[in-house]
Amino acid sequence: MTKPKAVVCAYSSVGTAALEGLLEAGVDVAALYTYAQGADEQWFTPPAAVAQAQGIPVHMAPAFNDDAVYEAIRAHQPDFLFSFYFREMIQARFLEIPRLGAYNLHGSLLPKYRGRAPLNWVLVKGETETGITLHAMTPKPDDGHIVAQARLPIAWDETALSLTDKAAAAGRDLVRGAIPGLVDGSAQHIDQKTLGPSTYFGGRKPADSRLDLSMGVQEAFNQIRAVADPWPNAFLETPAGTVKVAWALPSAEPCPPGRFRATREGVLLGFSDGALRLHTLKARGLRIERPSDQADLLRELGLEEAR
């Protein structure tokens, strides 16, 4: 039996896992379109590394929708076109090329959390469950019939990294399991409109990670875990400059709202209804974890601790 042929557009650790799922399902990947790995993205194996190890041609995609790329993909005569965490909206004309359809892997339980950075946004919003969805592509973002979904529980202390790892593992299995049905035509195609109203969130901006000391503790904690390492981290604007809170956990100890308080166990930061105990701070180019060093830094910055 002839292997189904696919062209894949992918990036991120989820994109890498999904590409691996395709290969495990016996799909012949004719080409990979992807991006150069950034200096701050060295924490995951990029899809290009997997493709190169398998002898799959790799193309960097700074302008994917160009005519030259369109003609190159059309020349492959693929059965499928897959988008796995690809950064660019793929034009409608590309979706008409593959014989068996074009499909996208999205990091939420569609139709909820359409748009960018869904795994970060579900943490910011305090969700207790999310998922990953394989769906047919249309010219609209995250639109089209759903062919497969996997649900992912969100732990109370889940971070963007741990949730991304869950999504990657689920994405590999989801893609691998969906291929037979997509090839023989037996795959389900569920209209998203039948699953309830959609929600949409745009790409995250640096300002979205700012901590406001008028927040409640849970809201602040959600903000912190949504951009914990290796993401850029939540931050405070202080009279002495920006202080990043790389990690913190809710504490039962009291601390006045908007103030720091040093204890034997560590430094507390007060919010409107309680406090967070700071585990990792970043300021002046330093990463500071020891409570005594955190307290010293705050004194140096003139951010006096409440006594």
Identify whether 17 is part of a domain: yes
Query: In this structure, what token pair is assigned to residue 22?
Result: 């395709």
Our count of domains for the chain comes to 2
Helix, strand or coil, per DSSP, at residue 46 = coil
112 and 183 inside one domain? yes
70 and 195 assigned to the same domain: yes
Domain shared by 189 and 211, yes or no: no
- For 21-30, 193-202, 294-303, which range has the lowest pLDDT when averaged over its residues? 294-303
Position 305 in a domain: no
Going by DSSP bridges, is the β-strand pair 5-10/28-34 parallel, antiparallel, or unpaired? parallel
Final residue before a domain boundary, out of 201, 226, 256: 201
Determine the pLDDT at residue 305.
59
Residues 6+ apart with CB under 8 A from 143: 114, 135, 137, 192
> Tell me, what amino acid is at 242?
T
Average the pLDDT over 259-269 and give the result: 88
pLDDT digits (tens, 9 = 90+) for 108-145: 999 999 999 999 999 999 999 999 999 999 999 999 99
Q: What Cα–Cα distance (Å) separates residue 177 from each residue in 26, 170, 171, 174, 270?
A: 11, 11, 10, 5, 48
